[in-house]
Copies of this chain bind each other. A is one copy, B any other.
Amino acid sequence: MKLKVFILLLTTVFFRLTAEDGSRLWLRFTDAGTETIRFSGLLADNSKVAVTEFQRAWKEMGKAPLSLTGSMKNNLLIIATPHERVIRRLIQSKDLANLSDEGYIIKTINNKNQTYTVVSAKNDAGLLYGVYHLLRLIQTNASLSGLNISENPSYERRLLNHWDNLDRTVERGYAGHSIWQWDELPGKISPRYKEYARANAFIGINGTVLNNVNAAPEILSREYLEKVKVIAGELRPFNVKVYLSVNFASPKELGGLQNSDPLNADVQRWWKQKVSEIYTLIPDFGGFLVKANSEGLPGPMDYGRTHADGANMLADALKSYGGIVMWRAFVYNPDGDDRAKQAYKEFKPLDGKFRDNVIIQLKNGPVDFQPREPFSPLFGAMKQTPIMPEFQITQEYLGFSNHLVFLSPMWKECLDSDTYCAGKGSTVAKTTDGRIFDQKITAIAGVSNIGEDINWTGHHFAQANWYAFGRLAWNNALTSEQIADEWIRMTFTKDQEFVEPVKKMMLTSHQTAVDYMMPLGLHHIFAWGHHYGPEPWCDVPGARPDWLPKYYHNASENGIGFDRTTSGSDAVSQYNSPLREEFNDIKTCPEEFLLWFHHVAWDYRMNNGKTLWNNMCYAYDSGVNKVREYQKVWDRMEDYVDKERFVHIQSRLRIQSRDAVWWKDACLLYFQQFSREPIPYDIERPVYDLEDLMKIKLDLKHHN
């Protein structure tokens, strides 16, 4: 007994010493490079950020400093652009020919019986990404011999969208207030801006929209632009550009003009002057993100103009500076037609009407970041207008920062979806990254889950979603497994006993959340406003029908689901053949989208021979059981993780486990009123009464 206690005490002390708060994200080098890495020296220009970044990490690894050298020793590490003569000697020009401005190569070169490791790129940005790639190899214990890497990013513009308000609340933010300290700026500069830039650059993100798409006109005031300038200055060394969301009514609201009509010359002039002012302060400013005529925001349609009229006016103002307009397609009106059809209906007719520095920013699904949606039919539908995917990294509909849900599989599901817009194989990825359409701009955006929490994202595992977004933006062909594997090794440990079960947990976690929240194509049955818990019964007098769960689930004694077939809203017809036929037929419609496209009788027999109702019950139950399984997986990992993060994650999994039961009970007991069938008796019974669940009103807001 006594010996045991003693050991336990030691362990505790050890854990205390190495406790981690998650603030370092994937930039953890202290226990990286434990394998032998033999560099005899470094040949590089120490004034370049790529080189200082390497040296910085190398030092954190506890290695003796790599001395800068000019002579060609064996095992030399060379970090340089072709401006350096040594590169031109070692690398053939064709090696660099296919690189984009941000691409890089990493090569092991054997020359005259000596071996060199070379990181090269056309310019400094690529060099930085190359160095980060090399560091990731070291962190993940990958082999450093025989390297022959050549990478270009999938998208030119890889952006975070911060839904951060100027009062520092964050819409759909679950990791504390905004990291942008507007009140302190421009005088005081938080050290986190640079940490933020490094973390983003490390995973390939090269742009950020600082403020909420529900934009305050004040962001364009001189006062705020001075603040933005300072942030831009902090991010610039890491190749991260600043963009802003703008309020379409800014000319009137901020400028005092009569209106904000895009065809009004005064309005056009106002924007031109404003853009000029911005570029004077921030010469590499990226451009504007616009949410217009959506959910009550102003836009060109207020003046009888089109989205194109609005976007083009802004594009004209930005054009000469190289700035772009990202115009959001998230629009829908309570006009009686299926909300899922509306983006397509409004934007498809405008194809070809946009300037070449406009790109349409489109959510992955046709409704709104639901746990699972089919891809939006607008992908591939606009052939003369570039589209950029908008993913939501922040878990508005997936348990906030309480639930462990790895989003990469969900995004991959969208990216890998075949639109058939140019024949078989026309995936969403290809329709957006330039492989199908001749695009002047390619881009992708992720709605940030970052806040001022010490671990940045609230849940430690939510860091993986930020990471995954960056990695997929860089390379949309990566698999979720590759990404999870990298992230686990960099964030926690390289021990396979940890990596494998935790990876498995991450990779199944999205399906698990779908199962306990809204399986089989169910969607938008969340609680009013905050979207955390279940509220399929939600009925708010006077509310827009398309903001109410019943609009989506249509549960009655006859069945459940949204009929989007040709007999229903006909949303299926927005898809290309053969998808429209496949979705339209209940027998061929993928069962994961069954209730998205069909209103289905409770006793409908699904592929496994069980009724819809029973399948629904088993799905919810499976979700609960899988979360409980995750708890077991995690608890077994106690010895592999520092105490601080272990307990934090353990606690969140407990919440998730309780919430999964809440979801299951709420949905099954509510829908059971219509199905009038028992929950299969081999399933764990509900532990709540429906009437009690219906009384739950969480005091949560849209923003923190």
Chain A interface (Cβ < 8 Å from any Cβ of B): 1, 5, 8, 557-558, 601, 603, 628, 631-632, 635-636, 638, 651, 653-654, 657-658, 676, 678-679, 681-682, 684-689
By secondary structure, the A interface counts as: loop
| Interchain residue pairs with CB less than 8 A apart (6) | A5-B676, A632-B684, A632-B685, A654-B685, A657-B687, A658-B687
Given A636-B681, A654-B688, A687-B658, A676 and B8 contact (CB-CB distance below 8 Å)? yes
CB contacts (< 8 Å) of A638 on chain B: these are: 678
Query: How close is A687's CB to chain B, nearest CB, in angstroms?
Result: 5
CB contacts (< 8 Å) of A558 on chain B: these are: 1
Distance between Cα atoms of A631 and B5 in the complex (Å): 41
Given A685-B654, A687-B657, A1 and B603 contact (CB-CB distance below 8 Å)? yes
CB contacts (< 8 Å) of A678 on chain B: these are: 635, 638
CB contacts (< 8 Å) of A636 on chain B: these are: 681
CB contacts (< 8 Å) of A689 on chain B: these are: 651, 654
User: A628-B684, A653-B685 are known contacts; what are 18 more A-B pairs with Cβ within 8 Å?
Assistant: A1-B601, A1-B603, A5-B557, A5-B676, A8-B676, A631-B687, A632-B681, A632-B682, A632-B684, A635-B678, A635-B681, A635-B685, A636-B681, A638-B678, A654-B685, A654-B686, A654-B687, A658-B688
| Complex copy number for this chain | 2
Distance between Cα atoms of A434 and B374 in the complex (Å): 79
CB contacts (< 8 Å) of A631 on chain B: these are: 684-685, 687
Query: How close is A217's CB to chain B, nearest CB, in angstroms?
Result: 43
CB contacts (< 8 Å) of A684 on chain B: these are: 628, 631-632
Query: How close is A307's CB to chain B, nearest CB, in angstroms?
Result: 45
Query: How close is A694's CB to chain B, nearest CB, in angstroms?
Result: 14
Distance between Cα atoms of A110 and B133 in the complex (Å): 103
CB contacts (< 8 Å) of A651 on chain B: these are: 689
* Chain B CB within 10 A, most for which of A636, A685, A688: A685
Distance between Cα atoms of A653 and B689 in the complex (Å): 10
Smallest Cβ-Cβ distance to A685: which chain B residue: B631
Give 7 nearest A-B pairs by CB, closest first: A631-B685, A657-B687, A654-B687, A658-B687, A651-B689, A636-B681, A8-B676
CB contacts (< 8 Å) of A635 on chain B: these are: 678-679, 681, 685
Distance between Cα atoms of A1 and B684 in the complex (Å): 27
Query: How close is A476's CB to chain B, nearest CB, in angstroms?
Result: 36
CB contacts (< 8 Å) of A682 on chain B: these are: 632
Decide: B8 and A628 in contact? CB cutoff 8 A. no
Query: How close is A418's CB to chain B, nearest CB, in angstroms?
Result: 36
Distance between Cα atoms of A638 and B676 in the complex (Å): 13
